[in-house]
Structures are given as C-alpha cells and as structure tokens.
Chain A
Amino acid sequence: MPSPTETVAFLRQVRLFKDIAEPELATLAQSLRERPLRRGQVLLREGDVGEEMFIVLRGSLVISKPVTGRVEQVLARAGPGDFFGEMSLFDRAPRSATIQADSDAILLALDREAMRRLTEVSPRAAAAFFHALVQVFIERLRASGDLVAEVTRWGLEATGLDLDSR
C-alpha cells in the first residue's frame, strides 16, 4: 500500500489532479480508498449502480460493452494514471460499461461524498478538477466517434455490404 506522500506524488501525474494545489491534493488523497483486483476479476458490470470513480494505480484493465452471449466489444484499456467511472459522480444512472482487470491491479476509488467535500472546501481545486475532466470528456467523445466509424467500416468490410452504388 503506498504511503500518503507516494499517493500524492502519483496523483500529481494524473491528468485530473495536475492543477490542484498540494494541500488540497493531500486532503483528497486521504479520502481515496484502495481497491485491489486479481487478474480476470470484474470490477463492475454494465447496469450496476455505483457512486465512485476509479484511478488506476497499478496494472491494466479492459473496458468493454456486452454484445452477445459471452462476447463483449473492447472499448478501451486503462493503465496506470488512467481513470474511469467518473460519470457516476454526476448522475445516478447505471454503469455504462463493464470493467475487468487484465492483470493484477490496484485502483484508487473516489466517491461522490469526497468530491462534494472538495467542492465545498476548495472551489478553486474543484474547478481545476472539472476543467480537466471536461477536456477528457471531449477527447473521449471524439474517440467514441472514431470507434463508431471503425466498427461500421468493420461491419461493411466483413459482410461485403455495398452502399456506394445504392
């Protein structure tokens, strides 16, 4: 388990927290909960209810969406410094994807209550956090568009479907 100093040093490298000042980051680090995962273990499934986001401290995870039977489409992979599940900090909707460990992993969980405290105690730190989050959202939105295009292209190529001449 990392010491508080190591956790703060790690958070400093995470894009979401890079603009948050040291004291606020140290306070935030105290509210993070460590969550170990074995290789292959499912952290959460699409449809689960949750109120926390996760930051990958160690290991790698696969983010997927069920397609049919036991087959799921891989949406993304997450490694050290990456984060996911942030949507549940803002809405109470069920999880939108399934996340499992590709190797033994350690995650840091940040829940809605900790986020609310940060917003109350240090609006400046919260603003930095949300600004970084919006930037990440934009990138992910663009990546989603690219993924949709790639999947569509795959479908057209795999089925030999011809739309050019219709």
Chain B
Amino acid sequence: MTETDGSPPSRRARLELLVRRDADEGFDVREIGSATAFVQSRPQRVVPESWELAEMPSRMAGQPSYILKNTVTDRFLLLAEPEKFLWEQMDGQTSLQEIATAYVLRYGAFDFDIIPVLMRKLQRAQLLTLTPTSRLRQALARNRRRRVVKAIETGFTALERINISSRNVQRAFTAAYRWGGFLLFTPAGVIACLLVAVAGMVAGVKLWREGGDIVAGFGGHALQGLITVKILFFLTVAAHQIVHGLALIHYRRRVREFGFTFLHGFVPTFYVDVTDIFMTSRRARVVTAISGAGVHLVLGSAWFLVALWAPLGSFTQAFAAASGIIQWQAFVIALYPFCFIEMDGYHVLVDVLGTPTLKQEAISWAGGLVRRGASRRMGRQEALFAFYVVVSTISVAAFVAFNVMLIVHARS
C-alpha cells in the first residue's frame, strides 16, 4: 500500500471493507477498486434553484452550445450539446455506467474522456454533488431501528448478493449459434416463427370462446395452477435472454455476461449483457431487442396449440392455455414501451426517438408538474413526456385489471 518514491501510483486504489451479515455473527470482506466505485457512482447536479441553462445562438453552422450558470457562485460553463445531454442525466439516480450507455444510444459512439472531463468542469464550477447509494436504500438505512424496515433491508441485501453469472460465455453462445441458433435469424426461421404465431393466434381465439370449460380443468385449484404456470414461465425468461445473446453473435458482437440475479434486490431475473450491440447499427439493436421477446410469442402459440388439441376441460388443456396467456402477456409487455418498465420495446422506442432517458425525464417532469402545478409551457418534449406518463399509467392499470379479471374468472 505504501508509495514512497513520491511518484504517482501506477495502479488504482483499493479499499478493503468488512460487511456484517444480519442473519448471523459473520461478515464478508470485500475489496472494492476505485474504478468500480467510479462507474457505479451517481453524480448529482445541484438543486434546480442553483443553476440556469441557456442555449447560445451560434453564427456558425453546426451543433448549438449552451451556457450553464451556477447562480450561487456566478460561475459560467460553456457546454457542447453532448455535454448538455450528460448534464441532464446527472440526476443522482443514474450511475455513470448507465449515463455512458445512454450516451452511446444517443450518439452511436463513445468518447471515453468526455464524462471525466465534464465532471471535473462541473466540480470546479460547484455544480455537482455526489451521492453514492440509492435513495431507497438510504431511507431504509435511516429507519433501520424499525423492525419491519430492518427486515426489508436485510431481505434486499441478502437477495442482492445472489448473483450467479459468468463473463466467459462468448464461446458458449457462439457454439449455440453455430449448432442451430443461426436458424432463428434466417428468413425461413422468421417465417416458421410467424406461422406458429398465426396458428397459435387462431387456436387462442377458439380457446377464448370456451374459456369457462378450459379453466375448469384446474378443478378447485385454479390459484395453485396459475402459480405453477408462473414458475414454469419464469424459466422461459432464460430462453428470452439466450436469444438476445444469439442475436449479438449474429451481428458479430460480444456477449459479455450471462447470469441470474435479483434486480433491485427483489425482482428475480435472468440477464445477458448486450451492451456491445450499441456499437453497431440501429437495425441490429432493434432485431436484438425484438428477437428475445419473440421467444414468448412462439412459446405462447405452441402452448395454445397444445391446449386446443388437449381433451376439453382436462388439466393439460387448462395448464397449456394459462401458459399460453402468460407467454403472450410477456410478449406484449416486453415489446410494449408504455408501462414504466425499461423492456425491449422501450429500448426500441427510445432508440427511434433519440431520447434514451425518456422514462426518467418523463417521471421527473410529471413530479415537477404535481409539485409546482401546470403553469409551465408545453413544448413538443413536454407533450412526449405527458403522453408517456398518461399512456403508461393507463396501460399498467389495464394490465392489473386484466389479471384480476382472469383470476376472478378462474376462481368462479
């Protein structure tokens, strides 16, 4: 650890931290590199009352420039358009890693120096504060004395630690692609999938007309049946992620990681790192996003066909029909961009709109509207935010209502 010759150290600094476990007396010792902490930090600009941003008219053709002023210190900064974009991401919620991803989505390339250089400029102008952890976790930590809060925090912490993943998956995905995965990306493969989808849709319509008889196949255990269907569905999420990975191989990009974790500490999910696709064309990004969701369309259709051929009112028919519904729901949710969840369809939408942080900005705008009233002028961007928030809210409500209706229908 000692550097005695006065020259700058060549390696990044590391901290050893001891983290106590709640469940027992034990602890874990973790070594955290400063580089890891840097990309996971969430830079936060100072409060809105402390800064002003104005577009600077330019006599030269090209991108506009912006003047960012610290109203407390009267210091000014000149920002280029990409820097203004980065400044807008620095909301204390978004990590540097996510900001860099948003930048690539917006500009199609990444300048490795732009973020550190901008942060230095902002710090010098006292326009930036830094918060290291999420607000939810901070709030939980503050109220840890309450037993319920402590239990929630302990649960989140325990779940967050569960991460089964590998970064050495490129070879496996390449092999899977070579041994048949490539078929999914051929015209014949796409047509086959569409034919199954159409057949499944026809089967689904027929089944819908016989809905009462179908769910009767669960007997008196409709709820247990649906839970089993959900668990089985969860396993197919892995297939969804694998197809995303195969799409990367198709476009000769690298699959950096594949694994299982609890998103935000409570959402169990499989995941695949597809960030390398950002370095290629928009078409490749769209195909990658849609191909994963296609898994649910094909599986849902297959389940509907099974349900159609199964004996009427049998358990098999009920199980297959319920599985088909849930797979199709997953397909719609994955591709439907207006639901406050950043799924495949959302990524396609923001890619097309060139607004990588649409959700965050829209929610922030709506929050401001609630706090300060509707006096602010509605431009095109505000209209987009309003549309996103309203349609997403209605969609989520409709989705919940639909599922409640299904369960009530099944139980009755």
- Chain A residues within CB distance 8 Å of chain B: 39-42, 62, 64, 67-74, 100, 102, 143, 146-147, 149-151, 153-155, 157-162, 165-166
When distances are taken between beta carbons in the complex, the residues of chain A under 8 Å from B9 are 153
Picked from A70, A73, A146, the residue with its CB within 8 Å of the CB of B15 is A73
Cα separation A147 to B27 with both chains bound (whole Å): 22
- Chain B residues within CB distance 8 Å of chain A: 1-3, 9, 12-22, 24-27, 29, 34-35, 37-38, 41, 116, 119-120, 123-124, 130, 141, 144
A71 adjacent to B18 (CB under 8 Å) = yes
B13 adjacent to A153 (CB under 8 Å) = yes
Give A165 Cβ to nearest chain B Cβ, in Å: 7
A159 adjacent to B17 (CB under 8 Å) = no
A166 adjacent to B124 (CB under 8 Å) = yes
Give B303 Cβ to nearest chain A Cβ, in Å: 45
A165 adjacent to B24 (CB under 8 Å) = no
Give B40 Cβ to nearest chain A Cβ, in Å: 9
Give A5 Cβ to nearest chain B Cβ, in Å: 34
Give B11 Cβ to nearest chain A Cβ, in Å: 10
A70 adjacent to B17 (CB under 8 Å) = no
Picked from B1, B22, B37, B124, the residue with its CB within 8 Å of the CB of A158 is B37
Who on chain A is nearest to B14 by CB? Answer: A154
Majority SS at the chain A contact face: mixed
When distances are taken between beta carbons in the complex, the residues of chain B under 8 Å from A40 are 24-27
23 interchain pairs, CB-CB under 8 A: A40-B26, A41-B25, A42-B25, A62-B18, A62-B27, A73-B16, A74-B18, A102-B29, A149-B3, A150-B13, A151-B13, A153-B34, A154-B13, A155-B34, A157-B12, A157-B34, A158-B34, A160-B120, A160-B123, A161-B123, A162-B124, A165-B120, A165-B124
Picked from A39, A70, A71, the residue with its CB within 8 Å of the CB of B22 is A70
When distances are taken between beta carbons in the complex, the residues of chain B under 8 Å from A64 are 18
